[in-house]
Amino acid sequence: MRILYFIDSLKVGGAEILLRNLAAGILAAGHEIHVGYCTPGPLENDFRHMGIPLYRLPRLGRIDPFLLLRMYQLVRRLRPDVVHTHLFKSDFHGRLAGRMGGAGRVISTLHSADPWAAKFPLGRIYGATARFADILIAVSDEVKAYHVAKTGVLPEKITSIANGIDMQRFAARPEVGSHFRAQFNIPRDVLLLGAVGRLVPDKGHCDFIEAAALIAASHPQVWFMLVGDGPLRASLERQAEAAGIRSRMVFTGLLEEIPAAMQALDILVFSSLREGLPLTLLEGMAASRPVVATDVGGIGGVLKNGVSGWLVPAGDASALAHACLRLIETPAQIAQMGKAARQRVEAEYTLERMVAQTLQLYIKAI
């Protein structure tokens, strides 16, 4: 099959990394892949390294008739068997472009319970464009339910295919974690709690820092780390400074290679206010790390409370700190829950499973 993917950007983000991983698996299965994107980013190099043709499609605004025209022209030129879109702008324009351009089938992935989808009339207009797609993929049942309720897409139009990751990349490698700690001047003998994700409001990192301050007050051997970058970095650094934990709070900035960071961590923390099914959750679990996370989006469907980690309400820094302390003060539980976490991902969330299910959907659609 010839498959054309449309995505808003090739920056480092959950949807973009999912597409990179999916494309690698589809390519390995012997199919032809092309990628059209709006905003450049570091992941361009990954696609080029795989030999996948890239097509830059500049845009002027959230809704852009010229972007629709460029997408339509690309579909007409490539004549793909499948057009598969990711993220709002690519969904909004790419579904129609794929249908008008004569693609064999048009598919979209719903990555998250985005707040804009709950706003009228934008959410309903976005949902109306689903009529141009043959089927939508939700990364979790929770994301499916959200879009049925907020954007008005018929439930029979959506199928759930959970995100999947390459388990081998997150196999235990203690020496990699030690090197990572040395790189960022983190002592080898401290307990390290970390969050991974863009430094934006939806990730709730301010709650993580507030929880870190509560933990640090009674546990001087614990350090903290934020992996990622974004518009809130300066304010989060000021918050850590004001809380008196800046010397124990490491801001790594943007990292393309997440496995090393996971190997360096002892406990992975999610303070998100909204999520779909975050890849970094699966990556941390695959690295045998217990997780303390807010119970939002698809997280609760993956993370079994009290088995592979602890779930807490979103926006509650005190509850987040308390759950982290339960792990910190029972070291045996860290290893036990970490083992259970990896077993959970191995059973249900491998890259091979995601690729096979997506290919089956492509073939069935055609």
Q: Taking 80 as the threshold, does the pLDDT of residue 365 lie above it? A: no
Average pLDDT for 280-291: 97
Average pLDDT for 235-241: 98
Q: Give pLDDT, residue 366.
A: 56
Q: Taking 60 as the threshold, does the pLDDT of residue 225 lie above it? A: yes
Q: Taking 70 as the threshold, does the pLDDT of residue 36 lie above it? A: yes
Task: Determine what percent of the chain is predicted with pLDDT higher than 90.
Answer: 92
Distance CA 23, CA 4 (A): 10
Task: Determine what percent of the chain is predicted with pLDDT higher than 70.
Answer: 99
Q: Give pLDDT, residue 185.
A: 97
pLDDT digits (tens, 9 = 90+) for 82-133: 999 999 999 999 999 999 999 999 999 999 988 888 888 989 999 999 999 9
pLDDT digits (tens, 9 = 90+) for 312-336: 999 999 999 999 999 999 999 999 9
Asked if 231 and 200 touch (Cβ cutoff 8 Å), the reply is: yes
Extract the tokens encoding 163.
């995100």
Alpha-carbon dihedral of residues 318, 323, 324, 330, nearest 10 degrees?
140
Q: Give pLDDT, residue 244.
A: 97
Q: Give pLDDT, residue 60.
A: 84
pLDDT digits (tens, 9 = 90+) for 141-169: 999 999 999 999 999 999 999 999 999 99
Provide DSSP, 164-228: -B-GGGGS--HHHHHHHHHHTT--TTSEEEEEES-SSGGG-HHHHHHHHHHHHTT-TTEEEEEEB
Q: Give pLDDT, residue 346.
A: 96
Average pLDDT for 266-285: 95
Q: Which domains does the chain have, with CATH numbers?
A: 2-164+350-365 (3.40.50.2000), 167-348 (3.40.50.2000)
Place 199 in a pLDDT band, splitting at 50, 70 and 90.
very high
Q: Give pLDDT, residue 300.
A: 94
In whole angstroms, how far apart are CA 56 and each of 37, 41, 103, 219? Answer: 5, 11, 19, 50
